[in-house]
Amino acid sequence: MNAQKENFLLAVEGLTVSFDGFKAVDDLSFYLDPKEIRVIIGPNGAGKTTVLDLICGKTRATAGSIRFGGKELTKMKEHQIVHAGVGRKFQNPSVFEDLTVFENLEVSYSQGHTVMGALAFKRDAAVVEAVESIAETIFLSDQLNEPAGLLSHGQKQWLEIGMLLIQKPDLLMLDEPVAGMSVAERKKTAELLRVITRDHTVLVIEHDMQFVGDIADRVTVMHQGKVLSEGSIEHVKQDPKVIEVYLGH
Ligand SMILES: Nc1ncnc2c1ncn2[C@@H]1O[C@H](COP(=O)(O)OP(=O)(O)OP(=O)(O)O)[C@@H](O)[C@H]1O
């Protein structure tokens, strides 16, 4: 194995999954650098969501490897992968509507930490500090005591990102984070992702090309389970193969 490849945060190599003989992901390889923000784009059915399902252990690979910080994820269970530092947000927000913003973040914090009774007081102070800091990052400082059910769709998306962030994952995976958001909310989400990548690597699936251009370091274009093109947004936008199967439609 190429020694240089050990510097990647995530190395996906030869990844394949067959559903009844249909290869949804087919010999796929890509590499993420630490603190990079990568966007996967591609037509419907290209296999984008399945890639995230494979990385987080929801779907088992038929072949190939996913190495993350020296660990082989294809052999691990979902909760072990979360514990190893991979956070995944699905397309629809799944916050606890009856709990306040504070409580939603608090619950997530406790999931990411070992509870030690003897340190209860210190832990409480640490929780409050972590919750307040994350709330500020996700633009929800003024809503801390509101039930999450009263938030706008966009604010719920941010809260769910915050619920992942508070568990301090090294890799954050987001499936269409700006779907259903207003233009103003999309701009703020781009801002949020730029702040997040100071400390985390982010892998995003997105269709909104304006948003992709605003956030991506590099773009991977998928088609029929394979990488069709990869590079800067300018590079992939001008690639005739990408125009033919995706952008030209
Ligand atoms: N569990 C499964 N069993 C059978 N087929 C599946 C399964 N999961 C995904 N597929 C198929 O694999 C293909 C890729 O699906 P996937 O959802 O990954 O595409 P996508 O690129 O995310 O598309 P979209 O942009 O529409 O979300 C599709 O044809 C889908 O029907």
Domain that holds residue 132: 3-247
Q: What is the pLDDT of residue 89?
A: 86
Given ligand 1 and candidates 15, 16, 48, which is best to mutate, with the most ligand atoms within 8 Å of its CB? 48
Among 20, 49, 223, residue to substitute to test ligand 1 (most atoms within 8 Å of Cβ) = 49
Instruction: Identify the three-state secondary structure at position 202.
Output: strand
Q: Whose CA is nearest to atom 2 of ligand 1?
A: 19
Rounded distance from Cα 78 to ligand 1 centre (Å): 19
pLDDT in tens, 9-49: 999 999 999 999 999 999 999 999 999 999 999 999 999 99
38: nearest Cα among 205, 175, 208: 205
Which residue has its alpha carbon closest to ligand 1 atom 5? Answer: 19
| Residues 199/137, Cβ–Cβ less than 8 Å | no
The pLDDT assigned to 1 comes to 44
* Nearest in space to 3 (alpha carbons), one of 16, 11, 71, 75: 11
**What is the rounded average pLDDT of the residues 50-61?**
97
Angle at 170 between CA 167 and CA 176, to 5 degrees: 85
Per the structure, the count of domains in the chain is 1
pLDDT at 104: 94
For the record, the structure tokens of 9 come out as 């945060």
DSSP characters over 51-65? HHHHHTTSS--SEEE
**CB under 6 Å to ligand 1: residues?**
19, 24, 42, 44-50
**How confident is residue 238, by pLDDT bands cut at 50, 70 and 90?**
very high
Q: pLDDT per residue over 69-106, tens digit each?
A: 889 999 999 999 999 999 998 777 789 999 999 999 99
Atom 1 in ligand 1: residue holding the nearest Cα: 19
pLDDT at 111: 67
**Confidence at residue 6, expressed as pLDDT on a 0 to 100 scale:** 62
Per-residue pLDDT of 139-197, as tens digits, reads: 999 999 999 999 999 999 999 999 999 999 999 999 999 998 999 999 999 999 999 99
> Other C-beta atoms within 10 Å of 114: how many?
7
pLDDT value for 3: 40
Q: What is the CATH number of the domain that holds 63?
A: 3.40.50.300
Read off the pLDDT of each residue in 102-130 and give the average, rounded to a whole number. 73
State in Å: Cα 87 to ligand 1 middle. Answer: 20
Cross-strand bridge partners of residue 244: none
Token pair of 200 as six digits: 């985390």
From CA 92, how far away is CA 82, in angstroms rounded? 19
pLDDT of residue 126: 84
What is the pLDDT, as a whole number, of residue 5? Answer: 53
Instruction: Tell me which residue of 136, 75, 52 sits closest to 102, measured CA to CA.
Output: 136
CA neighbours closer than 13 Å in the CB half-sphere of residue 19? 7
Residues 123 and 131 sit within 8 Å (Cβ to Cβ): no
Centre of ligand 1 to C-alpha 207, Å, is 15
Span 191-210, pLDDT tens digits: 999 999 999 999 999 999 99
How far is the centre of ligand 1, averaged over its atoms, from the C-alpha of 210 (Å)? 24
Residue 117: pLDDT band with limits 50, 70, 90: very low
Determine phi and psi for 9, rounding to 5 degrees: -70, -40
> For residues 160 and 108, is the Cβ–Cβ distance under 8 A?
no
The Cα angle at residue 33 between residues 11 and 225, in degrees rounded to 5: 45
92: tokens are 């629809």
Prediction pTM value: 0.91
Question: Ligand 1 centroid to 165 CA: how many Å?
Answer: 27
> Are residues 74 and 66 in contact, defined by beta-carbon separation less than 8 angstroms?
yes
Determine the longest span between alpha carbons in the chain, in angstroms.
62
Ligand 1 atom with least separation from CA of 59: 1
